[in-house]
Amino acid sequence: MSTAPRLLATSDLHVTYQQNRQFVDAIRPHSPDDWLIVAGDVAEKFDDVEWALGVLRGRFAKVVWSPGNHELWTTKDDPAQARGEVRYKQLVELCRGIDVLTPEDEYAVFEGAGGPVAVAPLFTLYDYTFRPAGTIDKASALAVAQEAGVICTDEYFLHPDPYPSREAWCAARIEESERRLRAVDSSLRTVLINHWPLVRDPTFVLRYPEFALWCGTERTADWHLRFRAAVMVYGHLHIPRTIRKDGVRFDEVSLGYPREWQPRGWTAAPLLDVLREGDAR
């Protein structure tokens, strides 16, 4: 059996829930040289984010984090009241203080089992282009979602400051992410990490399809091809599964809320082996 380091992944740990916090406290690597990807939604409060990522960094050789929408929320009960881009930058500094890699850091190259690959954490947000059928713009799409009783909490707590809208912030993040991905050594495959899936396909199984509005952007639909993805890792939907698109594997690695994972019979937080044997391209 190979003892080479593994690249593992999880997301949507939501450690505000005590059962999830216990799961995180019990996570262990297979080897002290293993790396761990955390694809967002660790928690809403800075203290909880720092606790969870700090615990994991103490056990894994590297921890790589991409923000989810929950980290970006500004809620009344969080002592950290920064909004929008300032909040994101403060989260980046928090991570750097505990030696966790972020979308603002140089992409690390994983040389273990299945490597070498450039491990690329991204932060793209969404721009309301995953619209319901028959709608033509953000306004009409939001109207359909509201009629269906589906409005994401982001509309109340995720502020885009200083950008005029979330879609404007998304556009800026796409530009920055593309710039950095283009600079990756062209001989390397990549592992693309983003809280929101880079393609719309994973949203097709949503119980409430209108929620797709808050799940990504059409502008990243070809990134898995353009940037030589071996795997794309995401969370957000709380529907852990694997799909393939254009021969590339898309892995959702969410833990989710206790009401979601308990019916699955999980007794520990799952960690997916991202570069598992037999799936290299």
pLDDT digits (tens, 9 = 90+) for 32-41: 999 999 999 9
Mean of pLDDT values over 234-238: 98
Looking at residue 3, its pLDDT comes to 78
Type of residue numbered 152: C
pLDDT digits (tens, 9 = 90+) for 149-185: 999 999 999 999 999 999 999 999 999 999 999 999 9
Determine how β-strand 35-38 pairs with β-strand 7-10.
parallel
Type of residue numbered 217: T
Looking at residue 89, its pLDDT comes to 98
CA 241 to chain centre: 14
Radius of gyration of the chain (CA): 18
Query: What confidence tier does 2 reach under pLDDT thresholds 50, 70, 90?
Result: low
Strand partners of residue 10: 38
Average pLDDT, the chain: 96
Nearest to 158 by CA among 214, 95, 96: 214
Query: What confidence tier does 1 reach under pLDDT thresholds 50, 70, 90?
Result: very low
Annotate 114-179 with three-state secondary structure.
CCCEEEEECCCCCCCCCCCCCCCCHHHHHHHHHHCCCCCCHHHHCCCCCCCCHHHHHHHHHHHHHH
Q: Strand, coil or helix: what is 107? A: coil
Q: Is the Cβ–Cβ distance between 235 and 251 less than 8 Å?
A: no
Determine how β-strand 248-252 pairs with β-strand 229-234.
parallel
Type of residue numbered 240: P
Strand partners of residue 37: 9, 64
Q: What percentage of the chain carries pLDDT values higher than 70?
A: 98
Asked if the 7-273 domain carries CATH number 3.10.20.740, the reply is: no
Looking at residue 277, its pLDDT comes to 60
Task: Report the alpha-carbon angle 281-124-167, nearest 5.
Answer: 140
Looking at residue 240, its pLDDT comes to 97
Distances (CA, A) of 165 to 155, 172, 189: 11, 11, 33
Provide the token pair at 192. Answer: 């693309």
